[in-house]
Amino acid sequence: MPIDDRHPLGGEMSDVARGLFGRFQLAALEKRYSSTIVLGLFAFVNGCISIGLMSLAALLTGAPLIFPSLGPTAFLLFYTPRAPAASPRNTFFGHLIGVASGYLSLVIFGLTESGLALAEGVTVGRVGAAALSLGLTAGIMAWLRVPHPPAGATTLIVSLGILSTPSQLAVLMLAVVVLIAQGFVINRLAGIPYPLWGTGQ
């Protein structure tokens, strides 16, 4: 979406903000929805809430429900919610491909029992796993037509050993599903026709 008076940052965040301000009858904010000051405040609050909820759930459960690539996913879901990369399908399958590619790379290079690369140091095997995981993730997303750029970070999180056990990876995917649900609720409350699954619903 081009940058204009209604969308000074591009994307659709202005539309999401205006819809939510209208829904909750915040007339003063609704009139100023396209102000960069208001948009910055909206982005700040939305980011704190979306990732804060995930962090709180991680704290309460002790499960790794928060990881770095959720940040750019959340930004996509609220900045460009109708872009194909932000659809539930692309978000889910992008991260799933990243997880599977990262874990397969660990298996191929014999690193499933290794610790965190940042603690143990980078080895030739770790270089191979990281390169293979990102290559597989990018290629498979393109072949399946489900691009989701934050999945490139997810695959490195796995291949670098930050989260690498099957139980951690299952929780990672659960976190993705919860974030997709948050995106659906917030965008629909704002009146944005965020899709149920693919890009055209």
- pLDDT value at position 199? 80
60 alpha carbon, distance to own chain's centre: 21
Max Cα-Cα span within the chain? 59
- pLDDT tens figures, 86-133: 999 999 999 999 999 999 999 999 999 998 888 888 899 999 999 999
DSSP character string of the chain: ----SS-TTSSSHHHHHHHHHHHTT-HHHHHTTT-HHHHHHHHHHHHHHHHHHHHHHHHHH-S----TTHHHHHHHHHHSTTSGGGSHHHHHHHHHHHHHHHHHHHHHTT-TT---HHHH---HHHHHHHHHHHHHHHHHHHHHT---TTHHHHHHHHHTTSS-SHHHHHHHHHHHHHHHHHHHHHHHHTT----SSSS--
Alpha-carbon distance of 63 to 119, in angstroms, equals 21
- Whether the per-residue pLDDT at 2 is higher than 80: the answer is no
**C-alpha closest to that of 47 among 151, 156, 186:** 186
Alpha-carbon distance of 120 to 111, in angstroms, equals 12
- pLDDT tens figures, 59-84: 998 888 889 999 999 999 999 999 99
Structure tokens of 72? 């750019």
- pLDDT value at position 201? 57
Terminus-to-terminus CA distance in the chain, angstroms?
19
pLDDT bin (cut points 50, 70, 90) of residue 1 is low
- pLDDT tens figures, 20-74: 999 999 999 889 888 999 999 999 998 899 889 889 988 998 888 889 999 999 9
- pLDDT value at position 97? 98
Alpha-carbon distance of 70 to 199, in angstroms, equals 20
Conformation bin of residue 115: beta by default, left when phi > 0, alpha when psi is -120 to 50: beta
